[in-house]
């Protein structure tokens, strides 16, 4: 068999885009985002250990609009990643493999993740 005669693997053009594909990609992306967010946590702890001046400088950056947007994204990534993990645990016990149910669960998890993020931010602003 020459290389030109071999069958090609399916590419993205073969598949129709679906919510489940988006959810899977977002799960991977939020995992990377959480790893980067962990580095931000390490910087925060280092500033906290370095004294009041370093902590005040960090909080100055963290409390600006860009810092709050980054914190919102990290919180959303945590909620989405956690709920996507719950969805996988549900699949591990053999439930909701039907494509319609799996799609509905992926949509529900995305909405719940966003709502939980809003609730966490509202609680944080109410407490401060």
3-class SS at 105? helix
**25-82 per-position pLDDT tens digit:** 999 999 999 999 999 999 999 999 999 999 999 999 999 999 999 999 999 999 999 9
Q: Please give the pLDDT value at position 96.
A: 86
Has 80 been labeled as part of a binding site?
no
**CA-based radius of gyration for the chain:** 20
Q: Please give the pLDDT value at position 32.
A: 96
Q: How many CB atoms lie within 10 A of CB 27?
A: 19
Q: Please give the pLDDT value at position 12.
A: 60
Reported residue count of the chain is 128
Q: Please give the pLDDT value at position 1.
A: 54
Q: Please give the pLDDT value at position 128.
A: 81
**Structure pTM?**
0.83
Q: How far lies 98's CA from each of 20, 94, 103, in Å?
A: 12, 10, 9
Domain boundaries, the chain: 19-127
**84-119 per-position pLDDT tens digit:** 999 999 999 999 889 899 999 999 999 999 999 999
3-class SS at 125? helix
CATH 1.20.1300.10 fits 19-127, yes or no: yes
């Amino acid at each position: 068999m020459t290389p030109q005669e071999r069958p090609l693997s399916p590419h993205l053009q073969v598949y129709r885009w679906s919510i489940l594909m988006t959810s899977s990609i977002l799960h991977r992306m939020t995992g990377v985002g959480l790893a980067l967010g962990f580095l931000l946590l390490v910087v925060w702890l280092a500033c906290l250990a370095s004294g009041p001046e370093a902590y005040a400088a960090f909080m100055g950056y963290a409390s600006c609009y860009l810092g709050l947007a980054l914190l919102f994204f990290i919180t959303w990534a945590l909620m989405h990643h956690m709920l996507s993990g719950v969805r996988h645990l549900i699949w591990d016990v053999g439930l909701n493999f039907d494509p319609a149910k799996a799609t509905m669960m992926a949509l529900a998890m995305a909405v719940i993740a966003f709502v939980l993020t809003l609730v966490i931010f509202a609680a944080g602003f109410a407490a401060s």
